[in-house]
Amino acid sequence: MRPESAVEAHHFEALGTNCGLFAVDQPRGRLLEGEFWVRRLGARLTRFSDGSELSLLNSSAGRWMAVSDELGSILRASLRAYEASAGLVNVAVLPSMQAIGYRRPLVEGPGIATLEHAHPLPPLPDVLEVRDGEARVARGSGIDLGGVAKGWMADRLAQELGPNAVANLGGDLRAVGLGPRGDGWPVGVAGQTLMLRDQGAATSSVRRRSWGDVHHLIDPRSGLPSLSGLEEVSVVAASGFDAEVVAKTALLLGPVFAPTYCAAHAMAWWLGGARDD
């Protein structure tokens, strides 16, 4: 094992969550640039600002709209996530988010739920089309990129930070390189410390962003908050994006089918139910 290398660390709040960037033998300015990138892109992807690029796409429903390379890439990744999860990861979730009262950042307090307005989500390829430089959302639908965007951003940012770095965006995490001592990056997953090398990790949970009997993780089969019997799933996979998709899919599958799914798609996993601490 080689001597430990110098690690620069930077913590900040963005995307409505806590973020951390870490890199070996890189100047602090590199991490600050990473923070600015997260903030700039996050401002374009939020659904809580009428002027964001995502909100403009949603408000242009039914028409093709020019989109940036970043948004186009994330929308294509969302379609891949839909296919990989057999439809359980569906970013056409905005109507359901509005129905549960999640119309503004939770720091401002939840809105009033109107669950009778929630309906099963349509298949994503039926309501989202993407082509070079343009995208279109079907009328009556809306996109909320959520964790899919965070996983995509963590992967992109970790690569930009350097050959030996970690980008953690609220638990959607990507580690690249050998870590400060050559044996991987120490990452806490479900109360355990794992050493990750060129891997991603993510946690999907109904224990956060919840209020009363409502939480933000929507089951597309009902359009309502998930009642799968699982409350939290953490996984390690090949990338942050893959880990996000696997974790959310497993949580929605529930305790009977999630272990088999994780065994086929994750490198490590932990499933938490209502009785777990």
* Domain CATH code at residue 130: 3.10.520.10
pLDDT in tens, 125-176: 999 999 999 999 999 999 999 999 999 999 999 999 999 999 999 999 999 9
Residue 57 lies in a domain: yes
Residue 1 lies in a domain: no
Residue closest to 59 by CA, chosen among 51, 67, 69, 70: 51
Q: Which of 42-51, 67-76, 93-102, 241-250 has the lowest mean pLDDT?
A: 93-102
In 41-137, the DSSP E strands lie at 65-66, 128-131, 134-137
pLDDT at 276 over 70: no
Task: Report how many domains make up the chain.
Answer: 1
pLDDT in tens, 253-272: 999 999 999 999 999 999 99
Q: What is the pLDDT of residue 56?
A: 98
Structural domain span for residue 245: 7-273
Residue 2 lies in a domain: no
pLDDT at 277 over 50: no
Beta pairing class for 172-176 and 199-205: antiparallel
pLDDT in tens, 202-218: 999 987 766 667 788 99
Identify whether the C-beta of residue 101 lies closer than 8 Å to the C-beta of residue 112: yes
Identify whether the C-beta of residue 110 lies closer than 8 Å to the C-beta of residue 102: yes
